[in-house]
Every structure is written in C-alpha cells, then in structure tokens.
Structure 1
Amino acid sequence: MKRDIRPADDIELFVDTFYDGVRNDDLLGPVFKEALQGNWPEHRNKMYRFWHSVLLDDPLYFGNPFLPHVDLPHEKDYFDHWVTLFHETLDQLFEGKKTEEFKKQITKMAEMFHQNIATGSNHNKNVWR
C-alpha cells in the first residue's frame, strides 16, 4: 500500500524517479538533454533544494526558477506533458491528501510558467504559490 508523500523524506525519491522518466521520455528527454548538457547530477541537486523549498516552505533554493525555462519550448503540449509525467510519478509512488495538494501546486505552477513564457512576462517571481 502506498502512503502519502512526506516531503522531508520523499523529495529525493520523487525527483530521482521523475527525472529518470523525463530522461527516457520521447518529448521531454531531448529538451532536457540539450538544456542540461549532461549535467544531470547538478540539476537533480538543484531540484532537491527547489522542491524542498516549495513543499516545506523552507528556503533551500535561491534564485528565480522561471529564468532557466525561458529559452525552452513553450508550446502548451510540453507543459501539459510535463504535468502528466509529474502526476504519474506521484501516483506511482504516493497517495493521500499531501500528494493531491502537491499535484495542484504543480499544475498551477506549470500554467503560470507557460503563461509567463508565452507572453514574455516575468512579473510573478513566486510562481509556485
């Protein structure tokens, strides 16, 4: 039986599982491969800090999460696919109230990223809240 996500304990498991899926994904894999230039360990470490900050409201990530995404594909299907993979990974590993809240945060964040990239706007720097 799956349990609810416990952010302090489960962030690395989630990030590792999610990005393993992204690396092997036909749509997102090539985008991340080009953007990261083989720097997956550094990216994963940054994502551990980022998601820790998001889920626990404990700032381990500093910077603007929006800026690294500006030059990536911004078509809505990329964002929708990313959200789908994110939700599938969470569903694979966890279930419960916190997990569902996390999925809502992710969907909102992806919508804001897409809107800001598509319009060339960066007015909302706190995009995940």
Structure 2
Amino acid sequence: MRDIQTREDLHLVMSSFYDKLLSDDKINFIFTEVAKIDLKPHLLELVDFWEQMLFDTGDYKKNVLQLHLDINQKTNLPQEHFDIWLNYFNVTIDENFSGPIAENMKTRALSIATVMKIKMQH
C-alpha cells in the first residue's frame, strides 16, 4: 500500500472518513444538526487543512480550535465522541494508505484532538 502523496489522496481519506462519521448515529448529529455542515465545501476545507498540515502547502486560514469550541458551546463533545472520531480517522487512513505521511497524519490528529479536549474543559 502506498503513502499519502497528493491532494486527491487527502480527499479520498476525508470522503471515506465522513462516510463513516455520518453513518454512525452516536456522532452524526454533530455534523448534521449542530454544525449543519454542507458536506462538499466542508470536505474541501478539510483537504486544505490537511494539505497545509502535512505538505506545508495550501491556504487554510480558519481557527480550527475556535470552530470546535463554538460547537462544544452548542452541544457538549464528550470523550466518547473524540474516541469515535479518532477511531474512524485512523481506520480510514489504514484502509487506504501506509507510510510515514499516513502515520504523521494520525499522530497529528491525535495531538489536535487532545489539545481540543483539554481546551474544552476550561
């Protein structure tokens, strides 16, 4: 299996990942009812974010932490939601890619989720 290399690879990961999230009734309401995401542009923003994180390219400018703090104000995001999110994230990457960039993406996701959870407790 090859490593993540392109924007198209990131789009594949994000699309497959969101298919899993939106199929899970324990967590899908956060995206459909609370955040009310418009999936197509949301996926492109996520690709922009990860392209910047992994390849230092792209022009993602939003404050990821603040966006999630705002959602947490609308509905509490418990540890279970972070665990579900991280599990689907890691599974999706592992189903499609293998290599140092894929591992870096999983490590960064864990770091981001950990920081968000800590900030939400304050």
Q: Give the TM-score category using the shorter length.
A: 0.7 to 0.9
Aligned length: 118
Which structure is higher in helix share?
Answer: 2
- Per-residue CA deviation, residues 53-104 of structure 1 (Å, 9 max, x unaligned), is 1111224210201112113332111111111110000011111222112111
Q: Which runs of 5+ in 2 are unaligned?
A: none
CA contact (8 A) 1:16 1:44 kept: yes
Following TM superposition, the consecutive aligned residue runs of length 4 or more in structure 1 with deviations greater than 2 angstroms are: 35-38, 71-74
When residues 38 and 54 of structure 1 are mapped into structure 2, their CA distance, relative to the original with a 3 A threshold, is closer
Partner of 2:50: 51
TM-score, scaled to structure 1: 0.83
**Partner SS for 1:66:** helix
* More RCO (CA 8 Å, sep 6+): 2
CA contact (8 A) 2:54 2:104 kept: no
Matched, 1:87 2:90: yes
Alignment of 1:26-41 (within 5 A): 26-37=25-36, 39-41=38-40
TM-score, scaled to structure 2: 0.87
Partner of 1:122: none
Q: Of 72, 75, 85, which aligns to 2:78?
A: 75
Q: Which runs of 5+ in 1 are unaligned?
A: 120-129
Alignment of 1:1-129 (within 5 A): 2-37=1-36, 39-70=38-69, 71-72=71-72, 73-119=76-122
Q: CA RMSD in A?
A: 1.5
Distance 2:34 2:28 in 1: 10
Distance 2:103 2:39 in 1: 27
* 33-42 or 85-94, larger mean C-alpha shift: 33-42
> 2:89 corresponds to which letter in structure 1?
F
